[in-house]
Amino acid sequence: MSGKNFIKIILPLGMALSLGLPSFEAAQAVPVVASLAYSQRLQQLPEMQRSAVLRGALNDSGYFCRRVASASPNKEGYDNLAMWSVRCQNDKTDFQDFAVFLGPDGSAQIRQCKDTQSLNLSACHFSDTPEKDKTQKSKH
């Protein structure tokens, strides 16, 4: 097959096939089953152990987390990664929010929640009312 015939046949075929593929945003929606299974096992752990696993992932990734104040699994993930929203408390007034993306093998990728929108990632969601919010409400 000559180079011209290759371009005439393969290039249009590739373009036609790519039109039927899901968009980048669709890949974000639901993580693969293996990641969900790991996330579900993490969710079944007692709170203290779950917090230790998430805290370890954060600290191993170069972020400092003295104590996990809140952790919630997200319904959405990214590609083949399940997502958890984690709020760390480093002292009485220092809170930081992180998106922890878990791979099927238990590996973790960390992003700060404040950066997720600019990176086109799912937003962080916390299912419970963290101590930070309770403290702020009681001061008003």
Q: How far from the centroid of its chain's Cα atoms is residue 14's Cα?
A: 31
Mean pLDDT of the chain: 76
The residue with greater pLDDT, 47 or 21, is: 47
The whole-number pLDDT of residue 118 equals: 92
pLDDT over 50 at 8, yes or no: no
CA 32, CA 104: separation in Å to the nearest integer?
Answer: 8
Give the CB-side neighbour count of residue 82, counting CA atoms within 13 A: 24
In degrees and rounded to multiples of 5, residue 73 shows phi and psi of -75, 140
Cβ–Cβ < 8 Å for 93, 131: no
Cβ–Cβ < 8 Å for 124, 113: yes
CA 75, CA 25: separation in Å to the nearest integer?
Answer: 15
- Write the pLDDT tens digit of every residue in 32-43: 666 678 888 999
**pLDDT classification of 70: cutoffs 50, 70, 90:** very high
Query: Which residue has 């969710």 as its token pair?
Result: 43
Tell me what the mean pLDDT of segment 114-140 comes to. Answer: 68
Cβ–Cβ < 8 Å for 71, 88: no
Considering the entire predicted model, what is its pTM? 0.67
The whole-number pLDDT of residue 79 equals: 80
> Letter for the amino acid at 110?
I
The whole-number pLDDT of residue 15 equals: 43
The first and second tokens of residue 36, run together, are 């969900």
The residue with greater pLDDT, 79 or 139, is: 79
